[in-house]
Amino acid sequence: MNGSLSYDEKCSCAKSTFCIYVRRSQDFEDSEKDYLVKTITNNGFSGILYVSSVLAGWAIVAGIIDSVLFPGIIAYAIFHGVVDYKVLTPPILFLLGNFLAKLVYITYNLRGKVKALDILIAALPYAGSAYLLRKFLVKDKLMRKAVSMYLTSQKNEVKNKLFSLFSKKQ
């Protein structure tokens, strides 16, 4: 398998945990591994996968903040009987700040890899991760399988780390 990869592809793959996962996987034939590694390294897919995973975590944190901020505003409005700009300013500022921060993050990390429209859609609240993965996986069944297996292994790794962390405390 390694004979068909260029030096640049090998170097690029060595920097990507997803690419390393694919190369070590026993679930793919050598020709499939070659194809996946070339796709990952030449299309910058590992960068898109990384940004997508960051956006997924970002959405979780933003969701927690939203689940505290918006009910707090509703409770305030009910108890004080008023909804004005002072009450609505924090969530609007958070929403705009979150959107702008995502725009900057995605643009910086994926410059030249995705179109401006894709960046705008990916910066929308809660949609970014799913949109990027769907956009780049919808046509490639083998890549979809590899990403699904990789994300499952990463999820299991995180669960095991959290389990071991909590089991040590008890």
Domain ranges of the chain: 1-42, 53-163
Q: Residue 104: its pLDDT value, please?
A: 92
CA pair distance 120, 103, nearest whole angstrom: 7
What does the pLDDT read at residue 61? 85
Reported as a pLDDT band with limits 50, 70 and 90, residue 138 is low
This prediction's pTM = 0.69
Report the pLDDT averaged over residues 79-106: 83
Cα–Cα distance measured from residue 146 to residue 142, given in angstroms and rounded to the nearest whole number: 6
pLDDT at res. 62: 85
Rounded CA gap, 48 and 121, in Å?
A: 14
Q: Which residue has the tokens 């002072």?
A: 86
Asked whether residue 72 carries a pLDDT value surpassing 60, the answer given is yes
Q: Determine contact, residues 61/29, Cβ cutoff 8 Å.
A: no
What is the spatial distance between Cα 123 and Cα 104, in angstroms, rounded to a whole number? 9
- Nearest partner of 30 among 10, 54, 1, judged by Cα: 1
